[in-house]
Structure 1
């Protein structure tokens, strides 16, 4: 071997030795080849098959050890709930449970099929379980995403009758096993019978017989297909779909679900398509009162149940129907935040100031008067008193929580809050504040940087105020000022701030018409908004539930006091401005002049919608916020909104039901009887509470550019609000502004009704209170 060959041999050997040497970093593990050998496809497949066999083995063991319970769970043997005032005294025992089981033969076959069409079209040929839905539910439970649909009728029956609504892996696995066994042991008819007899339909009704009576006053054997489809639709969300209490959105959803059920029946060839097309929605009858819910009790119980259900849905990830089934008749002891003395005082104020004056047999309009009120402690967020209507048995819908009437000018403080919070300026660049001057000419067109937006609301009685500061405009509820202010701020910003303060703005269009409070709102909602202002800008979500107990289970609501949603200075400035409404504005006669006031500081705002269809006063002291609303509702179906002009004997054309009248009177009698004397702690340099109200003559020309002589016929477009609130402070109006803008109006001139339709030049005038 030559030297060259020897050298090459040594190099090859050295190279192999180098490869065999450990790394200088100390690595001793396998290289890439080792990793590939560890994770071979054979090993991966073997591991997967092993896990599958382990899962199958585990399920077999579970199947063997989990029996069908010998009897129904405690939920199937319902108990009455007990409701208490905040001091622990008994408010109500919620009556006996309304349940009656019937044989399936007493339920018409096509009515039976409505439930199958609604919940589980494969019911008659499935194995009793939906493996996909169950797997999805297990994954969602493990990941904390909450409940999902997809259970079969068999699974729902097992959950209702044998188990509970808990969203745990253990419960779901038990549900799966028991459902498989029940499907093998019982016939499909027996399962369907159990399902429709154990389900909750709302109105305290468990089972189809109780539901048939509760909604249609018939026995189950006399139900029509249309009625059956509605009862089947109810199971998805009983309270939300109950026609008597549903919101407009709830009614749309209920009707859509009803159509879905019937369309599925046609698809499955269980219903003739021609008969389906001829079917009309079967509007349910009004509910009858349940024992223990007379007077105001039913309204308090309903709101307590609803808020507890919302808490359970959030905490446990269950659906609305599951939450209702968990609360209604489940043996809860629910302590409310309602103060017994304040509740009695609110009821007394409504009776003395309003309902004692109503004579429906003498005056038809008196039968249309509905009152609602909510009183909240702004420091704790607790609902201390509530008035839902004359009697739960005669008016099922709570006027305290209904949101189908307009809040009118009680929305104006929200516009000012938005202007302050956003640091908004007028069209010519002036910062908007309590002393900013606007043109108060009635009906003038609103401008957006020189462009007309097609909106020019008239003031009450078409009064022209001329140059007027924001403080006075709030006192007198001048529509033209706040319409322009809304555009100056930007309606998107206004609605954004409204949402932060507590208004449900979902679906609301940010159009200028909203500046006049043309959206819907409830006394509960308005009380929350004003409580947030009273609480210096920290969000207040009114809560009626103090604590709920069930055996050893205790549920407490989330803290009603939330984050700072607007600055303290903005909130306190609005409060300061609103004191002027009481001391020098539309609430002066009813609130400021009330002899029981005794120097108490008060902030608040009146509001009256078109044709007197709603009238409001929402006001507050440092420790109590109360919103009072009067609503005109036709006393018989279809319960349309109607005007209240002339109610209680007020003569049309000389007196009106407006925010500064009965609502403010009720508010004052109640509040001054239960509140402690205290002064607002305000961090602001603006508004009537900290400085005299400026008059137009003290200030320069208006800070806006629209024409100084707009047409008084400049009216809202098709986007116009459904009302312009009244400026009259009492049932016997104390003033109508003069045409001279440099002085406060003093002439006593009667006002007229308004409407929640766009302004009609040939009809009654819009008002601005």
Structure 2
């Protein structure tokens, strides 16, 4: 541009126009942005992202399967109850007992739906808004937020973990959708209420019902169910026992919220709702453990259940069955009666353990007690004492079978004799009035041949010719050793097995007549319960019933068939009343001021070297076997009881008629409700007729029998004479005739008694 033109331009406006090229460039930029962000492109991008998300979700849905449940979420405890249904204890790492939804009242079920997810019965298992909000909160670091459905919460509890990650939430959503399609709403709701944590260490509604209200889930009221449902939002903050004033106010508000929702959904009427009051929970109590007697009871119950699982074919062997029991989930109701259990424990303490002083006497540390009490009509074990404390002495003294039952075995020999119709070697039937030679260390003879067994009576006392009744009263070893051979030791052991003893591996030798095998108080209680039950087999049962969510167990009947005749059983019972009224148990039992005329039968026993002492006795309604065992506190080997509680050594034996009978009497007479009498079908024994009593002497004299037979000079082969119907007591020779069981006039010149080759079995037993 020339100067003239510039001048003219200034004159026209003072400015020169902007170059067109520059204006064209600016306009072109604006149109480019518009072209990049058109509504079509934005919509297309959004739809693309949606399709991509849907595709990704479809892939996730196809890839993610419903997994196995969490091992921790499956853990349960076993629950053990007394016969009246009250909880005795629980055993397991997690306090959870899964219950079938059908056992939870319908309105209680709906309290949880009203609290957590009113649309539960209509939705597809997922709350999309709540899940999206949860994902956003997780990404932004705000932590967990509410909004999940019951299905999602169950999936989180049972299939996944509690971690707050996007991947876990996506898995939760996918599994919830699948679970809702594959399972019923009841299945999901049952899983939810059984896996949720309610505070107080309680997992699942059953444990929570017990923890807060001391009832089972099936007995919860709607008000109580609403509290438990409200509790799930904040178990620690809403636990009434520990909640602050604010916490109590909040949980009451939520409780009202739950019930109001139920009215809104038509699950409660307004009148029902208006009548409801807040159910204040009970104070928490310590979780029941296994201390004291509970551990013994749990162990014994587990053992019985495991044996039954093997018998039913639910497990290959006992080990596998016991493992199955300990996995949890069992509700086991025992036959144990609370009152009788408490009274048995008190009797042991009052009569024995309170008198032991291990610091003063070393032997006192070695005294162990065990006892089992059985209802003979039902076979139910109503009380059991396993030891001073499960955590101090793990071996259950009530079920251990490693100590000799001693003379408590003698009634088995008599039962076999009468049941088998056995005769003495001279051909006379064995009855309560049959006369035997009661000389201590008299050799046992089998049809003229000495069998090499000559047991010593207690304190080496000689009784002379005495009746079976008196021999039972005085617990005369020599008489029952000979009787065992007369009956046949195989027959004796067969009868013992029929009555409930473990005789499979025992040898049929005369030494067994002293009770030299092993037996437990449980076994002996079963033997005597069968006698008390008139010969019908009683197998003591600790378990009353068993429940499991996925298994059914059928328990055998404790009372079975007739195993010995009623006459045999009732005769033994009749004879055993003499032991109490005129024998080794009279001081502790007959003269007990609490007896009040109660009819009692029983037998004492004191084993070789005083390693065990027993009293097993019964009334018409209750059989109890009490055993004391000497066990070294450190090495656990068997040791003597002699000298325990300060008794002088030597004569200071702990006899069956002492502490065991005292424990028995204090317990039995303490729980008896009324005096009862035996219904016996027999004409033998102390219960129906007087007995002939023999007085022991060191130098016996010879008395003439009632028919006054003549006395003959002894010969190398002595003759055998039959006793009169009411025989008198005579003194035998030290070496009996070839048929010593029926001789009323023994030979006059004794011979030397051969050395006894069974010395370890011949310690006097009472």
Contact 2:455–2:761 at 8 Å: present in 1 too? no
Contact 1:80–1:330 at 8 Å: present in 2 too? yes
Residues 425-475 of structure 1 show CA distances to partners (whole Å, capped at 9, x for unaligned) of 111111000000000011010000000000000111111111100000000
Deviation at 1:713, TM superposition (A): 5.3
Distance 1:97 1:408, change over 3 A: farther
Residues 632-655 of structure 1 show CA distances to partners (whole Å, capped at 9, x for unaligned) of 000012x11000111011111343
Q: Match for residue 309 of structure 2?
A: 312
Q: Distance in 1 between matches of 2:750 and 2:588?
A: 34
SS in 2 for 1:375: strand
Q: Match for residue 196 of structure 1?
A: none
SS in 2 for 1:526: helix
Deviation at 1:347, TM superposition (A): 0.1
Q: Distance in 2 between matches of 1:643 and 1:634?
A: 9
Q: Superposition pairs for residues 503-652 of structure 1, below 5 Å? A: 503-551=501-549, 553-637=551-635, 639-652=636-649
- Among residues 678, 682, 685, which one is paired with 2:683 in the alignment? 685
Q: Distance in 1 between matches of 2:66 and 2:543?
A: 35
Unaligned 5+ segments in structure 2 are 1-63, 96-158, 160-286, 695-704, 706-725, 731-739
Q: Match for residue 655 of structure 2?
A: 658
Q: Match for residue 717 of structure 1?
A: 757
Matched, 1:303 2:300: yes
Residues 150-195 of structure 1 show CA distances to partners (whole Å, capped at 9, x for unaligned) of xxxxxxxxxxxx9xxxxxxxxxxxxxxxxxxxxxxxxxxxxxxxxx
- Among residues 286, 289, 294, which one is paired with 2:291 in the alignment? 294
Matched, 1:699 2:727: yes
Q: Distance in 2 between matches of 1:492 and 1:710?
A: 32
Q: Superposition pairs for residues 175-214 of structure 1, below 5 Å? A: none
Distance 1:527 1:547, change over 3 A: same
Contact 1:97–1:329 at 8 Å: present in 2 too? no
SS in 2 for 1:611: helix
Contact 1:84–1:90 at 8 Å: present in 2 too? yes
Deviation at 1:612, TM superposition (A): 1.1
Q: Distance in 2 between matches of 1:712 and 1:76?
A: 78
Distance 1:390 1:608, change over 3 A: same
Matched, 1:430 2:428: yes
Q: Match for residue 341 of structure 1?
A: 339
Contact 1:646–1:652 at 8 Å: present in 2 too? yes
Deviation at 1:717, TM superposition (A): 2.1
Q: Superposition pairs for residues 85-164 of structure 1, below 5 Å? A: 85-96=82-93
SS in 2 for 1:678: coil
Q: Distance in 1 between matches of 2:417 and 2:566?
A: 14
Distance 1:357 1:500, change over 3 A: same
Residues 94-123 of structure 1 show CA distances to partners (whole Å, capped at 9, x for unaligned) of 14269xxxxxxxxxxxxxxxxxxxxxxxxx
SS in 1 for 2:645: helix
Deviation at 1:523, TM superposition (A): 0.1
Matched, 1:410 2:408: yes
Larger radius of gyration: 2
Residues 222-257 of structure 1 show CA distances to partners (whole Å, capped at 9, x for unaligned) of xxxxxxxxxxxxxxxxxxxxxxxxxxxxxxxxxxxx
Deviation at 1:361, TM superposition (A): 1.0
Contact 2:314–2:321 at 8 Å: present in 1 too? no
Q: Distance in 1 between matches of 2:362 and 2:587?
A: 28
Deviation at 1:88, TM superposition (A): 0.8
Distance 1:650 1:709, change over 3 A: farther
Residues 498-530 of structure 1 show CA distances to partners (whole Å, capped at 9, x for unaligned) of 000011101100000000000000000000000
Q: CA RMSD in A?
A: 2.3
Residues 593-634 of structure 1 show CA distances to partners (whole Å, capped at 9, x for unaligned) of 000000000000000012210000000000000000000000
Count matched residues.
469
SS in 2 for 1:419: helix
Q: Distance in 2 between matches of 1:709 and 1:442?
A: 17
Deviation at 1:390, TM superposition (A): 0.1
- Among residues 473, 476, 489, which one is paired with 2:474 in the alignment? 476
Residues 272-306 of structure 1 show CA distances to partners (whole Å, capped at 9, x for unaligned) of xxxxxxxxxxxxxxxxxx98110000000011111
SS in 2 for 1:457: coil
Q: Distance in 1 between matches of 2:664 and 2:557?
A: 27
Q: Match for residue 459 of structure 2?
A: 461
Q: Distance in 1 between matches of 2:754 and 2:585?
A: 28
Contact 1:440–1:468 at 8 Å: present in 2 too? yes
Contact 2:292–2:391 at 8 Å: present in 1 too? yes
SS in 2 for 1:679: coil
Between 406-415 and 699-708, the greater mean CA deviation after superposition = 699-708
Contact 1:444–1:711 at 8 Å: present in 2 too? no
Deviation at 1:709, TM superposition (A): 6.7
Deviation at 1:418, TM superposition (A): 0.5
Q: TM-score, normalised by structure 2?
A: 0.59
Distance 1:340 1:535, change over 3 A: same
- Among residues 74, 77, 94, which one is paired with 2:74 in the alignment? 77
Contact 1:349–1:666 at 8 Å: present in 2 too? yes
SS in 1 for 2:608: coil
Q: TM-score, normalised by structure 1?
A: 0.59
Q: Distance in 2 between matches of 1:511 and 1:524?
A: 24
Contact 1:442–1:712 at 8 Å: present in 2 too? no
Distance 1:69 1:615, change over 3 A: farther
Unaligned 5+ segments in structure 1 are 1-66, 99-161, 163-289, 721-756, 760-765
- Among residues 648, 664, 667, which one is paired with 2:664 in the alignment? 667
Deviation at 1:77, TM superposition (A): 3.3
